[in-house]
Structure 1
């Protein structure tokens, strides 16, 4: 997708601390610049330690503010299924979703009167309120690639395969190479390609 001077492409990323969301956002931002796009990115909101809610917002192209208005996200990437539901106010029937289906249960769920929803109910809700939903167990794919910590690169690979995604795949790979430890690149490249194929194979 080529953005004209009046267009912007809005990406909202949600999940919990420890899933590599911050690193993923940095890679996306640098790859967008490499692709010749203007980038405005939010500060990280929430708590970045393990278990705290984390989200970032990126606007590519014609944008002044990084804040994505309600119903305006073009792509919502959620590293945790319930977090996708939590931020659905940012989406519309035109939004594409990429969702990791492996849940992270809140520490206080056992004492709550509201148990964690069934995954099939979460996915039904997302599917009925989106343009397309690509949901898969990114943790399992990362393990198959060689390291569960590569889950965030599985998610980036999947995002890169979404129709209309404006960042060049080659630019994402270059940004990965510049921001990840050299001894992890083989695994992360494999994870990225496996995520990319998850989406491409469903089209």
Structure 2
């Protein structure tokens, strides 16, 4: 937490639950007495377009995370993480789902999507100190549904020693945001993500 502020950059594609993820973190932080600022950046708003949100928790002047100042990059999709690296510095914690959603822009132009295992992960690990790739899709399916991917990533986020919110803070905020019938599955998803990083 630099200068009393914890900065999180969250990125992925439309339909992955990124906005909901940011709301849960924001609510959990406010419940702990922190000030929170959030800005949303939607690319193409249809499913499959780039979506990112920036959260600043604590003492901040603006809602935008300055370049190289993110404490955490939380990525739902590998190439979106690569796109967001201008927010990261050597010590930024980078937690991301390794399963690609190939954007229509790549499939239409015939460009090649880089190999996550052979290119993206090794490059990130070479350039950054704190890289945590995880198969979020599998962990979400193990919890009961691919739709719980955002909760897997939230759980993974709370496994970070320097993160200012606990797993229980996140679970409480999740319960305030989702229908009771989904609570059990989402708690399992949070646990799965937490254990994958721990």
Q: Which category of TM-score, normalised to the shorter sequence, fits these structures?
A: over 0.9
CA RMSD between the two structures: 1.5
**Residue of structure 2 in register with 1:96 after alignment:** 93
Q: Return 122-131 or 157-166, whichever deviates more.
A: 122-131
Normalised by the length of structure 2, the TM-score is 0.95
**Residue of structure 1 in register with 2:43 after alignment:** 46
**Residue of structure 2 in register with 1:82 after alignment:** 79
Residue 158 of structure 1 deviates from its aligned partner by 0.1
**Residue of structure 2 in register with 1:106 after alignment:** 103
- Give me the whole-angstrom Cα distance separating, in 1, the residues matched to 2:59 and 2:106: 41
Aligned pairs for 1:125-164 within 5 A: 125-164=123-162
Residue 108 of structure 1 deviates from its aligned partner by 3.7
> Is 1:165 aligned to 2:163, yes or no?
yes
- Give me the whole-angstrom Cα distance separating, in 2, the residues matched to 1:183 and 1:17: 24
Q: Return 167-176 or 156-165, whichever deviates more.
A: 167-176
Residue 113 of structure 1 deviates from its aligned partner by 5.0
Contact kept in structure 2, 1:101 and 1:138, CA below 8 Å: yes
Residue 181 of structure 1 deviates from its aligned partner by 1.5
Contact kept in structure 2, 1:10 and 1:68, CA below 8 Å: yes
Aligned pairs for 1:20-35 within 5 A: 20-35=17-32
Residue 35 of structure 1 deviates from its aligned partner by 1.6
**Residue of structure 1 in register with 2:122 after alignment:** 124
Residue 52 of structure 1 deviates from its aligned partner by 0.7
Contact kept in structure 1, 2:49 and 2:103, CA below 8 Å: no
How many residue pairs match? The answer is 197
Contact kept in structure 1, 2:35 and 2:59, CA below 8 Å: yes
